[in-house]
């Protein structure tokens, strides 16, 4: 069965520092991969997606992610974090029935 | 602007009562989903629908039901609420096709079962 693992429950970075959130997936074929962000008290918002083609994908709010098939990873990165990036981030994969399967999330804390 | 709305946003109920959470979308999306969010579990799929009269069970469907009588609405019913169903519930919709996986979420309904 398809699954997504986000190994870091919490990550704390200083404002202005770079960020990398890890995501590993389990899927036999070429996966459809996504990153979503959830601000406190809100629903989830799509940051970026990977379907095929260029393995480095750009998203909103200055985020990017790189698909690495050999490592079954789809890590999210941002070169310089802003205090407003503090939120929970979810990696997700579309399964064989076209449903979205989410990881357990990584909560990002930003130090001033 | 198109949107997806959930109601109520907050509800407290007692064990054994029937509860219905409403979800209404104006995107004209065929696909609609209900997830629950619990600490440490991320979002888990309860039920989903790919069109009118179509409903399917997700990974945590026990104790929940849905019906899809039109494109816009997918109400979630808890037949007999249990304390284990205390959670935040999110409704989402998507266009499908080459937009598969691009979900638009409501703001959530926080349910407390006492």
Query: If pLDDT is split at 50, 70 and 90, which confidence band does B2 have?
Result: confident
Q: What is the pLDDT of residues B57-76, one digit of tens each?
A: 999 999 999 999 999 999 99
- Residue B100: is its pLDDT beyond 90? no
Minimum CA–CA partner of A42 in chain B = B107
**pLDDT of amino acid B1:** 80
pLDDT at A29 over 80: no
Nearest Cβ partner for A104 among B31, B40, B103: B40
State yes or no: pLDDT of A41 exceeds 80: yes
pLDDT band at B96 (very low <50, low <70, confident <90, very high): confident
pLDDT at B21 over 80: yes
- 8 Å CB contact of A92 and B41: no
* pLDDT tens per residue, range B28-48: 999 999 999 998 788 999 999
Q: CA angle at residue B88 from B79 to A24, to 5 degrees?
A: 115
Residue A13 CA, chain-centre distance (Å), reads: 16
State the pLDDT confidence band at A52, using cuts at 50, 70 and 90: confident
Interface touch B101/A90, C-beta < 8 Å: no
How far away is chain B from the Cα of A76, in angstroms, using its nearest Cα?
17
Q: What is the 3-state secondary structure (H, E, C) of chain B?
A: CCCEEEECCEEEECCCCCEEEEEEECCCCCEEEEEEEECCCEEEEEEEEEECCEEEECCCCCCEEECCCCCCECCEEECCCCHHHCEEEEEEEECCHHHCCCCEECCCEEEEEC
Better-scored residue on pLDDT, A43 or A63: A63
Interface of B with A in 79-98 (CB under 8 A): 90, 92, 96, 98
Condensed to tens digits (0 to 9), the pLDDT of residues A89-108 reads: 999 999 888 889 999 999 99
């Amino acid at each position: 069965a398809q699954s997504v693992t986000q190994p870091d429950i919490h990550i704390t970075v200083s404002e202005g520092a770079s960020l990398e959130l890890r995501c590993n997936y389990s899927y036999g074929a070429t996966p459809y991969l996504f990153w979503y962000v959830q601000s406190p008290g809100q629903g989830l918002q799509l940051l970026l997606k990977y379907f095929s083609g260029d393995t480095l994908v750009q998203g909103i709010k200055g985020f990017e992610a790189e698909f690495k098939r050999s490592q079954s990873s789809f890590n999210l990165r941002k070169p310089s974090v802003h205090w407003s990036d503090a939120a929970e981030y979810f990696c997700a994969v579309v399964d064989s029935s076209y449903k979205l399967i989410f990881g357990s999330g990584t909560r990002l804390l930003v130090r001033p | 602007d198109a949107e997806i709305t959930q109601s109520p946003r907050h509800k407290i109920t007692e064990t054994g009562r029937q509860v219905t959470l409403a979800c209404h979308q104006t995107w004209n999306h065929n696909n609609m989903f209900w997830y629950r969010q619990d600490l440490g579990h991320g979002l888990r799929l309860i039920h989903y629908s790919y069109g009118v009269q179509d409903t399917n069970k997700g990974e945590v469907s026990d104790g929940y039901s849905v019906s899809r009588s039109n494109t816009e609405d997918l109400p979630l019913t808890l037949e007999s609420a249990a304390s284990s169903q205390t959670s935040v519930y999110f409704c989402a919709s998507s266009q499908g096709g080459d937009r598969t996986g691009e979900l638009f979420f409501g703001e959530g309904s926080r349910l407390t079962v006492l």
